[in-house]
Structure 1
Amino acid sequence: MIYAIAMSNNKLSHQFSKSDNFAFYNEKYQIIAVHDNPALGITGCSAKLLIIQLLQEMHCDVVIVRKVGEKTLVKLLNAGLQVEQGNTRDDIKTLLESAKLHRRSLNTPEQGVLKKASDKNAGGRCCSHH
């Protein structure tokens, strides 16, 4: 089992897509890699796809987030990833233990944060490609 934690300032990031990096841990809670967020500086849905590609390349099973948007949550779930919500006050071991026990699983899009209508692009699409 591989866990990924969206990190900023060496703790769980407040926003998944805007995290500084992703730390990957094995089932024994040992760190196996840290990768910079490939989406930083990129806008639109292509940025989220870069994150998902990284998670898949690392053979990630579970992603630990604090806050994730509804559309991004759908993309993670459709990619076959389990998504667990963590608390920014928790240390890494607590986050991993909670994720292992599925204490705060995010299983449906409605559990993600809905983007405000004023923040959406024309027509509510994430980008001009679809």
Structure 2
Amino acid sequence: MSIAIAITPHHEVAGHFGKAAGFVVYDEQGQLIAELVNSGRREVGCKHKKQLQAQLAEHQVKTLLLGNVGQRSLARLLRAGFDVFRVPNRSSVQDVLNGKVTREPLLSAEQGRPCKREKGGCGCGCGSKKTEKPAKIGMTAGGNSNLQGLTKIGGFKL
């Protein structure tokens, strides 16, 4: 079981999960075991946040400490079994590890920061249902031509 802290480039607690420069991962004895870089922190969407979650899980992180997190990311983290705590932004990592700052447990998605975009408007499709695209000439489905729904090709009726 490990603890991860979202950090800024100056190794202070980052203000937001998805925009953190990286994460420092400590074991139960407080020994640094990994430092993860958030290479997608400037990206829009959820893909890099899902990748961060997977990296944290690979390092057997159980507890996540951060400044803030969006509602969707928080919901995904809680569903995955992470214990998430909010600590003051810009706190030193050492103060967090030594228990010198307050930890607010985040137990439901509503405690996260509301999304600034409309549902699914971040460009990654989160929160929106996928619609089946209509068949086009030349498209194949499983190796067979998909002509379902076509009534004319080049003026010729089928």
TM-score tier (shorter): 0.7 to 0.9
Query: Superposition pairs for residues 65-104 of structure 1, below 5 Å?
Result: 65-98=66-99, 103-104=103-104
Q: Match of 1:29, as an amino acid?
A: G
Percent sequence identity over matched residues? 30
Query: Equivalent of 1:128, from 125, 128, 152?
Result: 125
Structure showing greater relative contact order (alpha-carbon pairs closer than 8 Å, 6 or more residues apart): 1
Alpha-carbon deviation of 1:106? 0.3
**Structure 1 equivalent of residue 149 of structure 2:** none
Alpha-carbon deviation of 1:109? 0.6
Gaps of 5+ in 1: none
Q: Which deviates the most, 40-49 or 58-67?
A: 40-49
Q: Distance in 2 between matches of 1:66 and 1:41?
A: 17
Q: Which deviates the most, 54-63 or 37-46?
A: 37-46
**Structure 2 equivalent of residue 5 of structure 1:** 5
- Which has a greater percent of helix? 1
Deviant stretches of 4+, over 6 Å:
none
What is the TM-score when the length of structure 2 is the normalising length?
0.70
Q: Match of 1:5, as an amino acid?
A: I
What is the TM-score when the length of structure 1 is the normalising length?
0.83
Work out whether 1:105 is the aligned partner of 2:102: no
Q: Distance in 1 between matches of 2:125 and 2:92?
A: 39
**Structure 2 equivalent of residue 42 of structure 1:** 43
Q: Match of 1:128, as an amino acid?
A: G
How many pairs were matched up? 123
Contact 1:83 1:107 (C-alpha < 8 Å) held by counterparts: yes
**Structure 1 equivalent of residue 155 of structure 2:** none
Alpha-carbon deviation of 1:89? 4.3
Alpha-carbon deviation of 1:96? 2.9
**Structure 1 equivalent of residue 22 of structure 2:** 21
From the CA coordinates, give the structure whose radius of gyration is larger: 2
Contact 1:6 1:64 (C-alpha < 8 Å) held by counterparts: yes
Contact 1:39 1:50 (C-alpha < 8 Å) held by counterparts: no
Gaps of 5+ in 2: 130-158
**Structure 2 equivalent of residue 53 of structure 1:** 54
